[in-house]
Structure 1
Amino acid sequence: MKTRFLVISLIVSSFICFSQSLYMPLEFQKAYQQGTRKWDGSVSPTYTQNRSVYKIKASVDPHGKLLKGQADITYYNNNVDTIRNPTFHTYHDYYKPTSRKAGFFNRGENAFLDHKGVLITKIIVDGEAVDLRDEEQAFYGGTNYTIRLKKPLAPKATMQLNIEWQYEIPGNGFERSGAIDSTSMFIAYWYPEMAVLDDIDLWDRIVYDAATEFYHDYSDYEIELTIPDNFMVWASVAPANPQEVYSTVIQQRINQARSSKTPVTVYGEGDFRKTASGNKTWKYTATDFPDFAFALSDHFRWDARSYTDAMGEYFINVAYPINHPEFGAVLESIEKSLQVFHTQFPVYPFPYRYFTIFNGLQGGGMEFPGMANDQEISGAMIEQWTGQKVSDADAQLGLTLHEMCHMYFPFMMGINEKKYAWMDEGFASFSEYFIEQVFPSGNWDQPYLGSQRVLPIMVPSHIAEGSGLNSYTIGSQSYISLYQLLGKDVFLKCLHAYMNEWKHKHPTPYDFMFVFNRVSGQNLNWFWNNWYFDWGYMDVGITGVKGNVITIENKGGRPVYFKVMLKFTDGTSATEEVSPAVWKSLKVYNHKANVGKKKIQSVQLVVPLSGDADAQNNMWISK
């Protein structure tokens, strides 16, 4: 027993030693000292998180662009501490003219000058009415309400909230959720959502300004949506009452699609009706979901099919206007994305067996549990932009793959996107590393990658205005380098441990890093420091070539993975890969190329996905 205890003590001590060489703010230190987080990255037995059960009845007037809702929310305090001031979000307050808007979303559309935000007409907490205008009872901050409880919520107890609200569905210029045209809309962040209470920051009271995204607990949903009966509705899950909302013909087509490997048109132009004869109530049940979204239209086509592989069976759907016929190819893009997820990265079952992509955005895409709202990118568009001929499915693949990857990160993994956007956007962008790029990488300067706006990644995303570079480009480059440093097998072993242990919880960057340290059996702190904590940028450059030795300087400091592209005087060429491990203790690396008796004509350094700030020093040509 003593020997075993000694061994365990040494192992724990080594993890603490590894961990303590990383900078750690006091909020995190407190969590480790109190034992709610563990130095080896595993989930502490004292870790807790709260949850809610939402029972929501809502109606949508598509023509009047009005949503009205009533919610009964049961909030479970699984914490060991008493709650006195719970917070909930009203994200559509973002549209009020007085609300803060950040980054490229700060456009000030005239359409929102009179937007009233979320109008709460009634709120009752544990049987007692709350006056939100009375600061003794509630406090409003941006897109958050904090209630001052008359009776504090004890540990392991529940609280009941009854809320009635309404808001105008935003139109032209909306961000992520709103009306696409006169009778088509994507509805998200539409209900008062309980904020996350975690062991690092306590209540999430970050004001939503659209520059960063969201942070959700895992909850249960019982939803009833009353909508005119000439509208089709798509949601995070399939309806629980299909016989009540689908005609017999539509049900037959759905059944056909569920057993078909090729697209089936479930709802097409021949099914559209301009006027309603009444309303339908769509009912949904979702368990352990981070959020719930839906979309509706009276003139969107719906195609669906089945996809099956060794990891399971999936029912995949697309909805799009008939004047965007190319969008139907997104079903093939979804299939190709599932193949990437199940065989290359993350090699883990896709979390949502029912999945829909809605063609609603004009630029980019946005993820929701079980859904995405994406723009159309056709093969013709790619050919116009790049001169390259690609299929419609391949044109849409990068965006589809990216948004679907979010079903893992953050929705399965419970990441705080507001603070650590690189933990989900970075992984989603990293997934694109495994497909052929329709926008080929080039050897051109990208000085913005090394600009003064690029802060260390660990600066919380909502604080840094230029955090988009860290979230997408630099975050994904760090994962590419980590993948190449560890190799596919070790990387996936570490990743799967992280996913299995922290699924449906709230991991922080330290949990992620400590799991990789533990499972890989390596002290990777030099890597974490250089990528996530220290100042620097991505830039490697050739300083000289002598014989077969190429001298390369890491000018930006980031331990990047790169390729050495060689051309020889006899007309042949070769490519050699260089692991980020060379930068563990070196700033200048002498690469000995395997040239045999050949003479080098030229050398080019290539960082994947054009991830080098200064490309002028990446090329050497023999004189």
Structure 2
Amino acid sequence: MKHLMEKVLVVIAFFSISAYAQEADDNNQGLFDEFMYNRGNAYRSASGVPGPEYWQNGADYKIEAELDDETNYLKGKITITYHNNSPQPLDFIWLQMDQNRFTEDSRGTLTTPIEGNRYSGDVDGGYKVSDVTAKAGRRGKASSEYIITDTRMQVFFNEPVPAKGGEATVSMNFEFKIPEKGMDRMGRLNMKNGVVYSMAQWYPRVAVFDDIKGWNVEPYLGAGEFYLEYGDFDYAITVPYDHIVVGSGALVNAGDVLTKEQQNRMKKASESDETVYIITPDEVGNTSVTRPKQEGKITWHFKMKNARDIAFASSKAFIWDAARINLPSGKKAMAQSVYTEESDGEMAWSRSTEYTKASIEHYSRMWHEYPYPVAVNVASNVGGMEYPGIVFCGYKAKTAGLWGVTDHEFGHIWFPMIVGSNERRYAWMDEGFNTFINHYSTEAFNNGEYPSRLEARRLVGWLTDKGRESISTYPDVVQSHNLGMVAYYKPAIGLKMLREYILGHERFDNAFRAYIKAWAYKHPQPSDFFNIMENVAGENLNWFWKGWFYGNENIDLSLDGVRPVDGGYLISFGNRGGLPMPVVFEVTYADGSKEKKTLPVEVWQRGAAWTHLLNADKEIKKIEIDPDKELPDVNISNNNWPSEF
């Protein structure tokens, strides 16, 4: 008891001379108050999984389109079968008409800065539609009534589409001029041996009707990406005979569009872990070798199951190679790459299929199995953009840059292609989550051939900038110079802190995999993610979601003093930032031995100062907060004792 009283008196004296300790009441329970939880209902449960009556509408597409490489036009006919699984009948549906962004008076054009940005695009395009027909059910009376407003099209029915399983069909003809500069998401690339067409957002797509907002009809402006329903696709692309087409899903008429030799090479690639040429660099342009016919048009037919979108690429200039993808279940898929002479080379795109295969196999093992039959990487004028089963990456990319963009774009298959979050509103739920998983894929590739750049302390300069914005800022609203941090790096660092610093690998991985499994091919909201992470990991993290994802507060843990007492040391810690955090610290003793300790985040519930009694019978040489440097602590000068500064 005597020794205990001595320690208590020392603590009191220690705090009485600490100026910072007097500010303890400024930082307490308010940081831990409840934040943004889904209370739970029949549609979305409080545990973060879909509720027993969760519903989701869907759309199946049948499309026939023809690409004219002389006029750079795409013309097509589309039939959409819409499935209304919602509890209410629908008098109309909304479609996304993204090509209307490429006009002089589109909202996207008019909100682009005069000096331009990444999302500048051509302004001489836009849809022309005709023969619009819509009807509810098989026997419904056809309607041709519609309204097009900017990048949205409202199609009306004569009778409502019945609730809880009602169907409707919408068909129309459409055409548009293919933009050269397609907002870094699609477009045309003029190369020595021909034009590369990267075709995305090329057909009218159904907007999402959900239990949160009803119709999601935000216009397509630029930074905000997509929110789409799932369904099956059956699409046929007619092109000049000398073109090669790659696309989302399975090619179902290979016998019509590939030579016998190409079919044999494709079979060899499907059984090979090494890259196999389908069209070699020397064969490009020699149609007597590369094409089954020598004139006219040729139609490539693809099918895609349970996807939210499709894209394709077409060119007569493609080198084409492929290799097998090995999936955890024993199933196989195929990695493919198409690129031109300008992108060829061992330092560049001849390694693309190797990168694609490694990326898909890693994410399949780590998080959730890849669901599609192919994964195609296209060398494009698009710097980096993802669609189900196919991505466009910069044709000039090489070495680490090509690995990084390939790995990032294929990581998007998991977020948001499998987990169908709303990119238009919550960019961090796809870009941030993807940047996070990219870190571990990069570390794993060839035992770290290329370094990961996801380092917490790289963010400190931005985190202390007065012009920073919250992760929760909508992508079309955020300042362009902040988008990379708001959508990509800050949320990715947040997840990395959860895994490496707060929860540990086992608890985090269990929760993150549960989130992916629960919301695969569904539409999660931020609260669903927060709830499922807490329920599976067994941790109240409202202080973290509020501070890191929805606030602008920073981390600043401090080591304010060390004092020997009978049987050990009193270590004084401070929380000088607005975001509390567990205190992981490493003690180095005079004999060279080390031990790592953790104080729970709850030490900051009662104030901004905490004294810890470390029982030790050895002399302390050094103490360091966050020895693994996982925190973007904005002031590391107070993280060590003795101070290094």
In the alignment, which of 144, 147, 151 is matched to residue 143 of structure 1?
Answer: 151
Q: Matched residue pairs, number?
A: 574
- Return the letter of the residue paired with 2:499: Y
Q: Distance in 2 between matches of 1:321 and 1:441?
A: 35
Q: Is the 8 A contact 2:60 2:81 kept in 1?
A: yes
> Are residues 1:46 and 2:53 paired?
yes
Q: Is the 8 A contact 1:565 1:574 kept in 2?
A: yes
Cα displacement string for residues 346-371 of structure 1 (whole angstroms, at most 9, x for unaligned residues): 2x2123341111121453x2111011
SS state at 2:90 partner: coil
Q: What pairs with 1:193-208 in structure 2 (closer than 5 Å)?
A: 193-208=205-220
2:491 is aligned to 475
> Are residues 1:331 and 2:353 paired?
yes
Q: Is the 8 A contact 2:543 2:580 kept in 1?
A: no
Cα displacement string for residues 109-147 of structure 1 (whole angstroms, at most 9, x for unaligned residues): 9995651311213311126453xxxxxx43333311113
In the alignment, which of 12, 22, 38 is matched to residue 35 of structure 2?
Answer: 22
- Return the letter of the residue paired with 2:342: N
Report which stretch shifted further, 208-217 or 488-497. 488-497
Q: Is the 8 A contact 2:99 2:125 kept in 1?
A: no
Q: Distance in 1 between matches of 2:498 and 2:190?
A: 43
CA shift for structure 1 position 452: 4.7
> Are residues 1:305 and 2:314 paired?
no
Greater Rg over alpha carbons, structure: 2
Q: Is the 8 A contact 2:125 2:178 kept in 1?
A: no
Q: Residues 581, 336 of structure 1: CA spacing in aligned structure 2 closer, same or farther, 3 A cutoff?
A: farther
CA shift for structure 1 position 556: 4.1
- Return the letter of the residue paired with 1:433: H
Report which stretch shifted further, 273-282 or 67-76. 273-282
Q: Residues 245, 538 of structure 1: CA spacing in aligned structure 2 closer, same or farther, 3 A cutoff?
A: farther
Q: Is the 8 A contact 2:558 2:576 kept in 1?
A: no
Q: Is the 8 A contact 1:477 1:560 kept in 2?
A: no
Q: Is the 8 A contact 1:537 1:613 kept in 2?
A: no
2:180 is aligned to 171
Q: Residues 121, 111 of structure 1: CA spacing in aligned structure 2 closer, same or farther, 3 A cutoff?
A: farther
- Return the letter of the residue paired with 1:305: A
Q: Residues 519, 584 of structure 1: CA spacing in aligned structure 2 closer, same or farther, 3 A cutoff?
A: farther
1:536 is aligned to 552
SS state at 2:306 partner: strand
Q: What pairs with 1:507-518 in structure 2 (closer than 5 Å)?
A: 507-518=524-535
1:417 is aligned to 423
Q: Distance in 1 between matches of 2:409 and 2:621?
A: 46
Q: Residues 616, 279 of structure 1: CA spacing in aligned structure 2 closer, same or farther, 3 A cutoff?
A: farther
Q: Is the 8 A contact 2:249 2:305 kept in 1?
A: no
> Are residues 1:489 and 2:510 paired?
no
Q: Distance in 1 between matches of 2:50 and 2:342?
A: 50
RMSD of the alignment, in Å?
3.6
CA shift for structure 1 position 310: 3.4
Cα displacement string for residues 15-54 of structure 1 (whole angstroms, at most 9, x for unaligned residues): xxxx993236xxx77xx55x32222222222211111121
In the alignment, which of 180, 187, 202 is matched to residue 199 of structure 2?
Answer: 187
Cα displacement string for residues 446-483 of structure 1 (whole angstroms, at most 9, x for unaligned residues): 43224455444345444444454232112112211222
Q: Residues 106, 588 of structure 1: CA spacing in aligned structure 2 closer, same or farther, 3 A cutoff?
A: farther
> Are residues 1:157 and 2:166 paired?
yes
Report which stretch shifted further, 316-325 or 459-468. 459-468
2:26 is aligned to none
Q: Residues 105, 513 of structure 1: CA spacing in aligned structure 2 closer, same or farther, 3 A cutoff?
A: farther
Q: Residues 109, 416 of structure 1: CA spacing in aligned structure 2 closer, same or farther, 3 A cutoff?
A: closer
2:223 is aligned to 211
Query: Scaled by the length of structure 1, what TM-score is found?
Result: 0.82
Q: Residues 362, 143 of structure 1: CA spacing in aligned structure 2 closer, same or farther, 3 A cutoff?
A: closer
Report which stretch shifted further, 37-46 or 258-267. 37-46
Query: Scaled by the length of structure 2, what TM-score is found?
Result: 0.79
1:10 is aligned to none
CA shift for structure 1 position 108: 7.4
Q: Distance in 1 between matches of 2:407 and 2:599?
A: 26
Cα displacement string for residues 291-310 of structure 1 (whole angstroms, at most 9, x for unaligned residues): 01101121121111113253
Q: Distance in 2 between matches of 1:67 and 1:583?
A: 63
> Are residues 1:341 and 2:363 paired?
yes
Q: Unaligned 5+ residue runs, structure 2?
A: 1-31, 136-140, 288-293, 564-568
SS state at 1:317 partner: strand
2:16 is aligned to none
Q: Is the 8 A contact 1:235 1:295 kept in 2?
A: yes
2:243 is aligned to 231
SS state at 1:305 partner: strand
Q: Unaligned 5+ residue runs, structure 1?
A: 1-18, 131-136, 380-391
Cα displacement string for residues 330-386 of structure 1 (whole angstroms, at most 9, x for unaligned residues): 22223332453245x42x2123341111121453x211101111125766xxxxxxx
